[in-house]
Amino acid sequence: MAAPMLRWGCRGRRWAFARVDGGSCHRRGAPTGSTSNRIRGESSVAQQPLHTAQKTRKGEHKWAAVVGLEIHAQISSNSKLFSGSQVRFSAPPNSLVSFFDASLPGTLPVLNRRCVEAAVMTGLALNCHINKKSLFDRKHYFYADLPAGYQITQQRLPIAVNGSLIYGVCAGKKQSQVIPKTVRIKQIQLEQDSGKSLHDNLRSQTLIDLNRAGVGLLEVVLEPDMSCGEEAATAVRELQLILQALGTSQANMAEGQLRVDANISVHHPGEPLGVRTEVKNLNSIRFLAKAIDYEIQRQINELENGGEILNETRSFHHKLGCTMSMRDKEGKQDYRFMPEPNLPPLVLYDATSLPAGADPQQVINIDQIRETLPELPSVTREKLVQQYGMLLEHSFTLLNEVGLLEFFQNVIKETRAEPKKVTSWVLNTFLGYLKQQNLAVSESPVTPSALAELLDLLDSRTISSSAAKQVMDVKNRNPRAINKLIGLVRKATQSRADPVMIKEILEKKLSL
Amino acid sequence: MWSRLVWLGLRAPLGGQGFTSKADPQGSGRITAAVIEHLERLALVDFGSREAVTRLEKAIAFADRLRAVDTDGVEPMESVLEDRCLYLRSDNVVEGNCADELLQNSHRVVEEYFVAPPGNISLPKLDEQEPFPHS
């Protein structure tokens, strides 16, 4: 055979998304008609009337949306999936790269035990069947941040299959009821992360940092059992909480430790499923819900106007609030899957099949991992309801807000007040203030001890409820409350004291 | 692997199948220009000449002889390593910190980053290419 010559100038599956043409995507509410012009490579989006998928127009059938998710979670481990280089969020470019990660010839993959354990833990927590034998494959595509030209993944026989994730959606009047919903988990597989590309469009080049190349990922595939953005967002949030409780992933979306792609289609109930699109670049739970709802609406509008949906990949642009086509001119990618020839099958054991006299470092016992699983969020919530007599909805809120559960538990520890009182104050007054000032729990000026003290005073009837609320106001630096206090001091000093000095002294005394 | 084939050969009369070759719906192995173009895009190889394509056809015909074996009910073997133990490494950091060495391999470097083309450079279509410039 003639010596194969590598062509320079590769293109891969993913696009260098440089900039967005402002003209091709209208903002919501702009008064345009609902035509769609197919500009090369992009599709312009017309104004989207804000109605939900279920609402009917006169004479039209109802629409049902179907949403599936592919979630990639970075495994929390010291070293990478197949090499001993470090896993760390920020470091000098290419400093956390081994010869294998750079795909130098002669290097071989060596599987990280911790990553396998993380996959088993996650599979068990999600009620999956753990495959005692799983296989590794190569998925080929060309892109500069994938030095080997393929990704090692588990396409044929992944480590875990057929699980379920239960999440709670808020419904009812005042959104106070929690309705449990289930989404089936198709599979969980181990795979490699790719490096990072920085696109320098000015100089027409891409800068590659391989620090992330080879980091272990858990791909969790959720079946299309969800029907709207809110359900998807809630499911992802619950998965985040589970991964964080297990310690298998920090699952921080902002830092790229949790990435979600959505598969969306619409159809009339009773008819076959419609053509689906894939939406990528969803960087937060909030954008995830927005993007999905937008795409559902876009598809409905397109079909109602006699258009058709293309099986394509779209990217969500949060500033414009719309999805845009990332359409590849080459058509569907052929990944040429093949077994990874350098890795034997991954064999896991349980208590009954564990070979006698085996090196404990070289075997993984599923039963042992099951016994040592940390407490899952659903159990934590149940305990809160049992122990403190709170409503299930309250337990959801406590867990959903980062740091709130810990805050709550610290207050409980230090106060004499009744748990129900604490619950009410933390969830209504305290959380209310945080939301108003747009603060995280960690940024709160009120400490658990301070709140505990306040509640003690309230409990012993030393102060009244309204007085307590006023103290919270001051502690939360509500300017009106502080001014009111300054006014009271001025009155007491018969207007002889300088207000600026009063403010300084008060602030010191209150340690604001 | 040869012992397996022999064993299957012996087994065949019992199964009543014998050395049946599964019919190839494509007929004889002529590779079309469209397939060559597809392969060139997928693998970024250059079938530079008519000889190269002929060699590919011969290679496929050679491999096709495997179809002569009756493999009904036999679990495929994916890897000759299937009975080996997959070694599990402890989760310790033992590599990395060699950016300078690695960057030496790169044609172009900008501040400790590898430099690559911007991506999305498509191969020209078949009719835009010169036919077999290397023959």
Q: What integer is the mean pLDDT of A345-350?
A: 96
If DSSP states are collapsed to H, E and C, what string results for A64-114?
A: EEEEEEEEEEECCCCECCCCCEECCCCCCCCCCCCCCCCCCCCCCCCEEHH
Residue B57 belongs to some domain of the structure: yes
The verdict on a CB contact (< 8 Å) between A84 and B96 is yes
The 10s digit of each residue's pLDDT in A17-73 is 333 333 322 233 333 333 333 333 333 344 444 444 444 454 457 899 999 999 999
SS3 A234: helix
Q: What integer is the mean pLDDT of A313-333?
A: 80
The predicted structure's pLDDT at residue A318: 85
Number of compact structural domains in chain B:
1
Residue B118 belongs to some domain of the structure: no
The band of A444, judged by pLDDT with boundaries at 50, 70 and 90, is: confident
The band of A467, judged by pLDDT with boundaries at 50, 70 and 90, is: confident
User: Is some CB atom of chain A closer than 8 A to the CB atom of B94?
Assistant: yes
| Chain A residues within 8 A of B45 when measuring between CB atoms | 4-6
A-B Cβ pairs (cutoff 8 Å, strict): 188
Would you give the DSSP letter of residue A270?
Answer: T
Please identify every stretch of chain B with a pLDDT value under 50, giving residue numbers as ranges: 1-27, 131-135
SS3 A190: strand
pLDDT surpasses 50 at A276: yes
CA distance A94 to B95: 12
Nearest Cα to Cα of residue B38 among A211, A333, A89 = A333
The verdict on a CB contact (< 8 Å) between B86 and A346 is yes
Q: Who has greater pLDDT, A376 or A331?
A: A376
User: Is some CB atom of chain A closer than 8 A to the CB atom of B77?
Assistant: no
Residue B46 belongs to some domain of the structure: yes
The predicted structure's pLDDT at residue A50: 41
The verdict on a CB contact (< 8 Å) between A4 and B94 is no
- When CB atoms are compared, the residue of B92, B111, B122 closest to A11 is B122
CA distance B38 to B49: 16
- Note the pTM of the prediction, 2 decimals: 0.79
Domain interval for residue B37: 27-67
CA distance B111 to A394: 51
User: Is some CB atom of chain B closer than 8 A to the CB atom of A94?
Assistant: yes
What does residue B77 show for φ and ψ, rounded to 5 degrees? -100, 120
Q: Which residues 18-47 of chain B have a CB within 8 Å of chain A?
A: 40-47
Nearest Cα to Cα of residue A100 among B81, B111, B89 = B89
Q: What integer is the mean pLDDT of A417-431?
A: 90
| Residue A342 near residue A359, CB atoms below 8 Å | no
User: Is some CB atom of chain A closer than 8 A to the CB atom of B98?
Assistant: yes
Which tokens belong to B7?
Answer: 């064993």
User: Is some CB atom of chain A closer than 8 A to the CB atom of B67?
Assistant: no
User: Is some CB atom of chain B closer than 8 A to the CB atom of A204?
Assistant: yes
- Provide the sign of the torsion angle of the four alpha carbons A494, A497, A502, A506, taken in this order: negative
Residue B54 belongs to some domain of the structure: yes
User: Is some CB atom of chain B closer than 8 A to the CB atom of A77?
Assistant: yes
Residue B22 belongs to some domain of the structure: no
User: Is some CB atom of chain B closer than 8 A to the CB atom of A330?
Assistant: yes
The predicted structure's pLDDT at residue A25: 29
Buried b (16+ CB within 10 A) or exposed e, A20-51: eeeebbbeeeeeeeeeeeeeeebbbbbebeee
The 10s digit of each residue's pLDDT in A238-260 is 999 999 999 999 999 999 999 99
* Residue partners of A45: CB distance under 8 A and separation at least 6: A24, A25, A26, A36, A298, A322, A323, A324
Residue B47 belongs to some domain of the structure: yes
Residue B52 belongs to some domain of the structure: yes
Q: Where are the beta strands (DSSP E) in chain B?
A: 88-89, 109-110, 113-116
Classify residue A413 as left (phi > 0), alpha (psi -120 to 50) or beta.
alpha
Nearest Cα to Cα of residue A2 among B124, B50, B126, B39 = B50
| Residue B104 near residue A129, CB atoms below 8 Å | no
| Chain A residues within 8 A of B94 when measuring between CB atoms | 79, 84
Residue B56 belongs to some domain of the structure: yes
